[in-house]
Amino acid sequence: NAGVTQTPKFQVLKTGQSMTLQCAQDMNHEYMSWYRQDPGMGLRLIHYSVGAGITDQGEVPNGYNVSRSTTEDFPLRLLSAAPSQTSVYFCASSYSSRGPYEQYFGPGTRLTVT
């Protein structure tokens, strides 16, 4: 198993540009989520999904969109990038949201918005 994969690893955007961060898992996990981590801070939940076709907002959803058309993929779209979105983005997945299952995290995407 590759686990949770994220692309790209690094990205530089100009203010106002849009882009999609990719996340995929090959463990047939129901639950997937996106976090952002600012320097010296813990992770904050952006959006999550409990299954294909179902998404919901986390703590800091503004400026981001998600969709879950397949079990495997959970892309995160930045609609109009702002310098405040400079951060490291982590995708995570777990077997199910109905139970105390561990979450598996991807390696992260480091995004800089200038």
Partner 1 sequence: DAKTTQPTSMDCAEGRAANLPCNHSTISGNEYVYWYRQIHSQGPQYIIHGLKNNETNEMASLIITEDRKSSTLILPHATLRDTAVYYCIVRFYNTDKLIFGTGTRLQVFP
- The residues that touch partner 1, with contacts defined as CB under 8 A, are 4, 31, 33, 35, 40-45, 48, 50, 58-59, 88, 90, 92, 94, 96-108, 110
Check: CB of residue 39 under 8 Å from CB of residue 13: no
Residues 54 and 49: their CA atoms lie apart, in Å, by: 6
Residues 70 and 96: their CA atoms lie apart, in Å, by: 15
Check: CB of residue 83 under 8 Å from CB of residue 99: no
Cβ proximity to partner 1, 17 vs 95, nearer residue: 95
Least separation in angstroms between CB 113 and partner 1: 18
Cβ proximity to partner 1, 14 vs 42, nearer residue: 42
Least separation in angstroms between CB 19 and partner 1: 20
Cβ proximity to partner 1, 11 vs 17, nearer residue: 11
Question: At which residue do the structure tokens 């994220």 appear?
Answer: 6
Cβ proximity to partner 1, 81 vs 89, nearer residue: 89
Q: Label residue 99 exposed, middle or buried (CB < 10 Å: 0-12, 13-18, 19+).
A: exposed
Least separation in angstroms between CB 23 and partner 1: 11
